[in-house]
Amino acid sequence: MIAGEQALAKRSCMLFSSPDDPVDVWVPELQRNLPEVEFRVAPELGAAADIDYAIVWKPPAGLLASLPNLKVIFSIGAGIDHILADPERPKALPIVRMVDPYLRDMMCEYALLGVLHFHRFMPEYQADQQARVWQRRWPHYTPEMTVGVLGLGEIGAKVAESFRQLGFRVRGWSRGEKRLPGIECFHGRAALPVMLSACHYLVCVLPLTGETAGLLDAAAFAALPRGAVVVSIGRGKHVVEPDLLSALESGQVGGAFLDVYASEPPQPAHPFWRHPRVIMTPHIAGEIVPKSSAKVVAANVRRHLAGEPIAHVVDLARGY
Ligand code: GLV
């Protein structure tokens, strides 16, 4: 390489920014997978003009706009709502959502946990244990129980398949038409009440978009069979929380296993905290674990460096 070329061959540079993810785990893992790339950690940008890529979770407003040569934004999340929340975000840049097999598998684990918790009467058996009561309950017959999965993308399709493998009847619902073996698929808003009408368990893994916000409202809960269980692991804003509470109070919804909330963390006075039919976890259903996710990011950076199309770029018109 002659001197002029050497000066041109600037080392690519990626900025890491997240208030919630461990930088001491993330950056070494990224560095191991992308030794040819330099990493910086916000807020220490150095020369902002050096930065080609940003990998972010809840980036501070204006951070991305302050990087004049930024080329691609990587989301530390399957969802990208945390990036769209920045009004100054450079609108023309591609945003890559995290499509990671390990994240997907964690979401499946959690969906199974939530459904099986109620399917196998754990709330009742826990209450019995407290009261030192030995009491067997007659089981549900799994092949007659239907799980509904809202969202049939990278995560939802695997969630639906996991329940099918356990012997449940499975219905799926998506925005556009999908066909999945062994899953009864529905699409479009008009088909939602029909789909819901048979779902003893409902798992929401939708992305949050203008079309999906508030989808789980009083009408949706009323469309479910009485006593159905809701497992919410997409985004909290899919659920109209006061409507879910009313449905729990009336017994129309028999239980809720919730990982996401309209506002996180929920206020200390939020009625979910002490509700006997609600199980709450702090947005941990699917974690982005660098051991797996850094490989996914590295493969995409290499595609970009090679001038190839990058995978999983968000369609902003669609919202995911
Ligand atoms: C987490 O919520 C994610 O978007 O992956």
Task: Check if the beta carbon of residue 203 is closer than 8 Å to that of residue 160.
Answer: no
207 CA distance to ligand 1 centroid (A)?
Answer: 9
Binding site membership of 78 for ligand 1 (Cβ less than 6 Å): yes
Tens digits of per-residue pLDDT, 252-307?
999 999 999 999 999 999 999 999 999 999 999 999 999 999 999 999 999 999 99
Binding site membership of 207 for ligand 1 (Cβ less than 6 Å): no
Angstrom distance (rounded) from CA 38 to CA 19: 21
pLDDT of 63? 98
Structural fold of domain 101-280 = Rossmann fold (3.40.50)
Structure tokens at 111: 């969906």
Mode of pairing for the β-strands spanning 278-280 and 201-204: unpaired
Q: Tell me, yes or no, if 140 is annotated catalytic.
A: no
Tens digits of per-residue pLDDT, 273-283?
999 999 999 99
Predicted confidence band of residue 91 (pLDDT cuts 50, 70, 90): very high
**Model pTM score:** 0.94
Is 3-100+288-305 in CATH node 3.40.50.720? yes
Q: Tell me, yes or no, if 175 is annotated catalytic.
A: no
Name the phi and psi angles at 37, rounded to 5. -105, 145
Single out the residue of 1, 36, 35, 38 nearest to residue 16, CA to CA: 38
Binding site membership of 79 for ligand 1 (Cβ less than 6 Å): yes
CATH 3.40.50.720 in the chain: give the residue spans.
Answer: 3-100+288-305, 101-280
Say yes or no to pLDDT of 5 above 90.
no
Predicted confidence band of residue 20 (pLDDT cuts 50, 70, 90): very high
Tens digits of per-residue pLDDT, 45-61?
999 999 999 999 999 99
Single out the residue of 100, 203, 80 nearest to residue 150, CA to CA: 203
Give how far Cα 144 sits from Cα of 42, 119, 141, 169, Å: 52, 12, 6, 7
